[in-house]
């Protein structure tokens, strides 16, 4: 594993891909590798999220083209829905971002949600930190676009970009999903469509309280398929990065630590096993107290 880590530091993409698979599948020794990861405060994480059909993949593809200028290295994690049969990713990076597949400065990896409700992979923290060891200038995390539970990305990204489209009542849906609270930047994609200006004005009205604060939320109009507005989006992202405070950095680290500890403690608890055990207890004496039952797990 140490040799693998050294290869990753030298920019070996095959070693990086292999290491991500080790972490994803919890291959023996992966935890020791994670403990040897170097500190990296220079790579910036950009989260791309929003409702399905907003054009997140097209926007990501166009954003790569802007960020890569100046010989920058870009890592991309595309989190896709899981296959119900093998839990693999249903969508492929080659299909969506084929232009960058053979570019030596771009590394793209598709991950499956594997049932995670937050629109992310259950090992997204660990995989992102492995990617950071490879020395990328930027890492883009594009979430699956499941809507109501997607706010989890805010705990992992330095800059969170929420992508919306003018039609379909997306603003109301966004408010329900909690995306209004997590956005550092709003992108109104497909802004050449009818009623785009009305949509943007309504969005500004909803964000009016935020505009009165010190952290103004930018609204960027884009037509990702034509790469229109992408330069403006890059500029907004770079300016937003500079606003990242020490408080936010430590809050993000605390959130990640909390999630990792939670996942570790819950690792051996299976819902199906719980169901069978509860059923046995209930059938045995006809009574079941939820709080007495969970007591043994809480105090283990």
Query: 22 and 98 in one domain?
Result: no
179-238 residue pLDDT tens: 667 788 999 999 999 889 988 888 888 877 655 555 678 999 999 999 999 999 999 999
| Structural domains of the chain, count | 3
Q: Model-level pTM?
A: 0.81
31 shares a domain with 44: no
In this structure, the answer to whether residues 53 and 107 fall within a common structural domain is: yes
120 and 178 together in one domain = yes
- For 32-81, what is each residue's pLDDT tens digit? 999 999 888 899 999 998 887 888 989 999 999 999 998 999 999 988 75
Is 82 in the same domain as 112? yes
Q: Print the domain residue range for 84.
A: 39-262
136 and 150 co-located in one domain: yes
Strands 74-80 and 44-49: unpaired
Say if residue 51 is in the same domain as residue 200: yes
């Amino acid at each position: 594993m140490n040799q693998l880590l050294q290869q990753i530091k030298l920019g070996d993409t095959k070693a990086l891909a292999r290491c991500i698979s080790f972490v994803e599948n919890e291959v023996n020794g992966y935890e020791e590798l994670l403990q040897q990861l170097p500190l990296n405060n220079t790579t910036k994480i950009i989260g791309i999220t929003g409702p399905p059909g907003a054009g997140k993949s097209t926007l990501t593809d166009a954003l790569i083209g802007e960020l890569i200028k100046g010989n920058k290295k870009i890592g991309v994690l595309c989190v896709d829905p899981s296959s119900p049969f093998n839990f693999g990713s249903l969508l492929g990076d080659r299909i969506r971002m084929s232009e960058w597949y053979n570019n030596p400065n771009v590394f793209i990896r598709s991950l499956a949600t594997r049932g995670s409700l937050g629109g992310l992979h259950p090992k997204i923290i660990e995989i992102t930190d492995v990617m950071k060891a490879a020395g990328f200038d930027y890492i883009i995390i594009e979430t699956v676009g499941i809507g109501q539970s997607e706010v989890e990305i805010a705990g992992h990204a330095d800059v969170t970009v929420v992508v919306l489209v003018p039609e379909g009542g997306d603003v109301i849906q966004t408010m329900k999903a909690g995306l209004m609270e997590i956005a550092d930047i709003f992108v109104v994609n497909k802004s050449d469509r009818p009623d785009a200006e009305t949509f943007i004005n309504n969005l500004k009205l909803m964000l009016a309280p935020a505009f009165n604060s010190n952290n103004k939320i930018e609204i960027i109009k884009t037509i990702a398929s034509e790469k229109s507005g992408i330069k403006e989006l890059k500029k907004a992202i770079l300016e937003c990065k500079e606003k990242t405070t020490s408080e936010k950095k430590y809050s993000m680290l605390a959130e990640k630590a909390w999630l990792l500890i939670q996942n570790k403690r819950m690792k051996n608890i299976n819902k199906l096993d719980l169901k069978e055990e509860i059923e046995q207890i209930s059938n045995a004496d006809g009574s079941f107290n939820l709080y007495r039952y969970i007591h043994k797990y809480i105090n283990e």
